Chains A and B, each alone.
Chain A
Amino acid sequence: MRRRTAFAGLLFVCLCLVLAFLTLPIVAIFTDTSPGALISSLGKQGSLDALWLSLKTSLAALLIIIVIGTPAAYLLATRNFRGRSVVMTLIELPLVLPPAVAGIALLAAFGPKGIFGSALEDAGITLVLQTAGVIVALTFVAAPFYLRQAQEAFAAVDRNLIDAARTLGAGEARAFGRIAIPCAGQGLTAGMALAWGRALGEFGATLMFAGSFPGITQTVPLAIFAQFSTDFTSALALSAVLVIVSAALLLSVKLLGRAPFLGGGQA
């Protein structure tokens, strides 16, 4: 009995250590400087530019991911074809790729000396050191989060619902739009939140592929890195914004996981 109590105590202590280690640094972001100083330093031009750029590029990347990724995920979820698992693995690869490797890979593909470099140049498109390059980097690292989630969500939709829509006169496209997407809505939204969160925090690949030019390619994580040695308070303020946004995204994913249905109603 005494041993069991001691063991229970050990478990409790370990959990406390984990919790303290993981949350204290985050709490410190908000307590290291006064809230007033945090808010006023957000008003500086560099910080505002970084926030605006991050919002713009991450939403653009998210839009690309949703528009192209949703039909692709639907195909992966509903058709069984030769090599499907290979395709799945390839799509998931960027999830485990180190950011520096992702940056090098993007340069090797779309950089001036990359395999598509001259083709892009002929078309008059420059990605490296441009805002467009940021969007490419964000799309590359964030897309797998959405694709994986969307594929699972579509696979979980009752096949009979799609078939019922077909027998009621809906072609494949209408069944996809009117039935599959709303029924997978919860999973799709969770995937969007995860992908958006990943895009907002993206650092390494962006730095290598697009550089860190204020107002052009310097997103919030890059601005934090650029400012922390000279203006620690500004770096803290930007970090605080990212913490709040990330926490909100995480919370929305958790709440969506519990909601019986996207758009209300009982399951």
Chain B
Amino acid sequence: MSGLAVEARDQLRNIELDVELDVGDRSCTAIVGPSGAGKSTVLRIIAGLRRPDPGRVTVSGTTWLDTSRGIDVPPEERACGFMFQEYALFPHMSAWRNVAFGVSGSSKERRERAHAELERFGVEELADARPGSMSGGERQRVALARALAREPRLLLLDEPLSALDTRTRARAGRELSSVLRSTGIPTVLVTHDFTEAALLADEICVMDRGDIVQRGPSSQLAANPASPFVAELAGSVVLTGTARPEPPSLTVVELDGGGLVRSPDAASGPVAASVFPWEISLEPPGADPRGSALNRLDVEVASVSEVGNRVRVGLTSPQPLVAEITSESRRALGLEPGVSVTAVWKATATRLLPR
């Protein structure tokens, strides 16, 4: 059996953790949830830094933990690449020594390996710098280089982008996603940011109070949330497509599967266009385009769910999206699954994230 399989129960401070998870080879699963949901604990259990009871962890057929059979491989023998939330670089060591720490071999081999790994992430000029003198983005690259230098069988990322400022985050996210695709190591990523998870992971597990409440591709979670909790967490809608500039100042995104979306954000190539559901309004099909909204997609209603005094409407366009409207509008449009409508929102409400 390939990939990673985890089953674990554990008593945390005020919640009971109960998790079953499997991640295929060459695939990335994100665990998304609010802080205190037990996300990081799952990573610690996989890495062997915490022992659940009962629990089982297997990676590509190797058992790392099986409490029923008394197997518990110590963390140093588990070959996990673990990137910690604030990166946990050793402050008293230079970048290359940080990376070489996990590499075995002669001191020459370790040094060469560390430098090669730093070069791969474009930070070879920082080889002799201490973490204290690096920017957040540089630290993140060194930490990633360190986690991958010992050729782990599994990559664990705890909030990989949350320690970065907003401007660095987009670029770091793009880099990380290409690294994840090129390494092909099964990856588990923990984040509280749904958009980040949608960008990096193939599958998302939504975690709440120690339980995985729903799992699936990001688009599916956004369009068909199993609970108001998931719906709220999913927050914005993410549409994938290919961007090209549209002079003078707009970018037009050709959505995968059809449809056009415009945004003032500059981008080209593969992107994720995100829009908050409350920015999307719904009109009867074939209505005359009036007003300034540039984005109009003909869609079909897939689901209708009441969240508080709002209505979340799941739509298929071909890509799933979600609009949030009032109960009054719902009644006025007679929205039920299967009804055709036009989803309308402004270009300025559309964020473009490179992917």
A265 close to chain B: CB less than 8 A: yes
Residues in A whose Cβ lies below 8 Å from that of B226: none
Interface size class of B (residues with CB under 8 A): 20 to 34
Q: Do B130 and A266 touch (CB < 8 A)?
A: yes
Q: Name which of B85-93, B160-168, B280-288 contacts chain A.
A: B85-93
A161 close to chain B: CB less than 8 A: yes
A168, A169, A183, A266: which contacts B133 (Cβ < 8 A)?
A266
B150 close to chain A: CB less than 8 A: yes
- Tell me the complex Cα distance, A149–B80, Å: 34
B243 close to chain A: CB less than 8 A: no
Q: Do A263 and B92 touch (CB < 8 A)?
A: yes
Residues of A171-216 contacting chain B, CB below 8 A: 171, 178-179, 182-183, 185
B102 close to chain A: CB less than 8 A: yes
B49 close to chain A: CB less than 8 A: yes
Q: Do B85 and A168 touch (CB < 8 A)?
A: no
Contact bitstring A4-36, B, C-beta under 8 A = 1, else 0: 000000000000000000000000000000000
A42 close to chain B: CB less than 8 A: no
**Inter-chain contact total with CB atoms closer than 8 Å:** 74
Residues in A whose Cβ lies below 8 Å from that of B92: 182-183, 185, 261-263, 265
Residues of B181-239 contacting chain A, CB below 8 A: none
Chain A residue at minimal CB-CB distance from B134: A266
Q: Do A160 and B150 touch (CB < 8 A)?
A: no
Q: Do B75 and A183 touch (CB < 8 A)?
A: no
B139 close to chain A: CB less than 8 A: no
Residues in A whose Cβ lies below 8 Å from that of B85: 160
Q: Do A166 and B101 touch (CB < 8 A)?
A: no
Q: Do A168 and B91 touch (CB < 8 A)?
A: no
A158, A182, A263: which contacts B88 (Cβ < 8 A)?
A158
B146 close to chain A: CB less than 8 A: yes
- Tell me the complex Cα distance, A158–B85, Å: 12
A169, A183, A262: which contacts B150 (Cβ < 8 A)?
A169
Q: Do B84 and A164 touch (CB < 8 A)?
A: yes
Residues of B77-101 contacting chain A, CB below 8 A: 77-78, 80-82, 84-86, 88, 90-92, 101
Which among B47, B48, B75, B77 has the highest number of chain A CB atoms within 10 Å? B75
- Tell me the complex Cα distance, A227–B102, Å: 60
Identify 18 residue pairs between A and B in the complex whose beta-carbon atoms are under 8 Å apart, listed by A's number.
Answer: A158-B88, A160-B86, A161-B91, A163-B44, A163-B84, A164-B84, A166-B75, A167-B47, A167-B80, A167-B81, A167-B102, A168-B102, A168-B146, A169-B76, A169-B77, A169-B102, A169-B104, A170-B101
Interface residues of A (CB under 8 A from B): 158, 160-161, 163-171, 178-179, 182-183, 185, 260-263, 265-267
